[in-house]
Structure 1
Amino acid sequence: MTALLPVTLAGPTITLEPLSTEHHDGLVDAVRDGELWNLWYTSVPTPDSMAAEIDRRLALQAKGAMLPFTLRRNDTGEVLGMTTYCNIDADTPRVEIGYTWNRASVQGTGTNPESKLLLLAHAFEQIGCTAVEFRTHWMNHQSREAIARLGAKQDGVLRAHRWGPDGSLRDTVVFSIIASEWPQVLAGLTYRLAKDR
């Protein structure tokens, strides 16, 4: 597996930049758009905990356990949210795309599928992954539908998988795209994004 080093991934509408502490104020502004931390089935940082979340992700990056990105609009420079490569398995190799959130006002506008296209292309074409995984809370129907629309297939449900921020046990839905499916997923995402522009 090619080493997971910080990299900038640019598309026509958005750019994924390596996460840094300089993104703090933009991320606080983004998370306030829709007060995303109030969704009980998500783990989105509050404005007050954003600095700690940036530090947490960067510490995991230093250990080789995560590669975090900040999502930014190309036309305005506005920060839209965060995403990562995580659960990195260098031996297989495979990664998960996760810990993703985007400001509420851009949800449904195509920025999320474009960021997933950039991450998937890098994972399959540069890193050489055999599979890319996605996980979400059973109750997060919006996320489950968005992952399925990418072309990912549901692998199963990890029941009582981990504790949520509200103290409840979370059932985690696991999806994946394998390398042999990537050409078809790429064609579908490219068509979908071109149609929406």
Structure 2
Amino acid sequence: MSQGNITLTGQHARLTPLLQDHLSDLQAAANDGRLWELFFTSVPSPENLATWFKTANEQRDKGLAQPFTVFDRIQNKVIGATRYCNIDSTNKRLEIGYTWYAQSYQRSAINTECKLLLLTHAFETLDCNAVEFRTDWFNQRSQKAIERLGAKRDGVLRSHMILPDGRVRDTVVYSILKHEWAGVKANLEFKLKRTPSAVSS
């Protein structure tokens, strides 16, 4: 399940390997909505951006993650980040996580297309048996978004993580299995045709 330097390109979005050169643009994207103030997300604050970047690259170097910068392909503008993480090559599983977008791009075609690109690569190129999604118990918006993809809820990991602020997080776990992929793909392609492309600017 070798990842390599992957670039995934769709009609609206382009996912490229995360680079140091992207950090100032990522900070600007996070400023759109001051996303780090949402306590249940993984969006880096301006003062934590360098640490966030270092951790992402350390995980990549260990073969456990593949971090991406998300671009609005039409405007060639950095609008967020996402990641393959918890990569388990032996059991052909991985998680899609650490995903966030500038507030003005949320609920647009960008998220739908990014998930379609990532899932297509995971199931059809990496030959995954399962792709997982995890989110904070309090992040109801994220749970609804994952369910709209067609993922099924596996359960809740109680007292799963101690967060930097000391809060002990319950984690909600979802997954899509290989035999479910054809239906999920058709669902995402249908949604993509009916979703507004992005912000008008």
Common topology (TM > 0.5): yes
The Cα offsets for residues 59-95 of structure 1, whole Å up to 9 and x where unpaired, read as 2111111100000001111111111101111111010
- Tell me what 2:193 maps to: 194
- Tell me what 1:52 maps to: 51
Report the Cα offset of residue 144 of structure 1: 0.2
1:108 aligns with 2:107: yes
- Tell me what 2:160 maps to: 161
User: 2-side partners of 1:96 and 1:133: how far apart?
Assistant: 4
1:83 touches 1:97 (CA, 8 Å); kept in 2? yes
Report the Cα offset of residue 30 of structure 1: 0.5
The Cα offsets for residues 99-124 of structure 1, whole Å up to 9 and x where unpaired, read as 11111111011211110110000000
User: 2-side partners of 1:43 and 1:194: how far apart?
Assistant: 29
1:154 touches 1:174 (CA, 8 Å); kept in 2? yes
What's the secondary structure of 2:125's corresponding residue? helix
1:96 aligns with 2:95: yes
Aligned residue type for 1:83: T
What's the secondary structure of 1:181's corresponding residue? helix
1:13 aligns with 2:28: no
Q: Give aligned-pair identity as a percent.
A: 47
Gaps of 5+ in 2: 197-201
- Tell me what 2:131 maps to: 132
Report the Cα offset of residue 170 of structure 1: 0.5
- Tell me what 1:32 maps to: 31
Report the Cα offset of residue 52 of structure 1: 2.2
1:173 aligns with 2:177: no
**TM-score when normalising by structure 1:** 0.97
Number of equivalent positions? 196
What's the secondary structure of 1:127's corresponding residue? coil
1:37 touches 1:44 (CA, 8 Å); kept in 2? yes
User: 1-side partners of 2:177 and 2:61: how far apart?
Assistant: 27
1:40 touches 1:165 (CA, 8 Å); kept in 2? no
Aligned residue type for 2:54: D
User: 2-side partners of 1:128 and 1:107: how far apart?
Assistant: 29
User: 2-side partners of 1:142 and 1:165: how far apart?
Assistant: 22
Deviates more, 1:9-18 or 1:56-65: 56-65
**TM-score when normalising by structure 2:** 0.95
Gaps of 5+ in 1: none
Aligned residue type for 1:164: L
Report the Cα offset of residue 164 of structure 1: 2.3
Report the Cα offset of residue 48 of structure 1: 2.2
1:21 touches 1:51 (CA, 8 Å); kept in 2? no
User: 2-side partners of 1:142 and 1:52: how far apart?
Assistant: 26
Taking only aligned residues, the RMSD between alpha carbons, in angstroms, comes to 0.9
Aligned residue type for 2:103: A
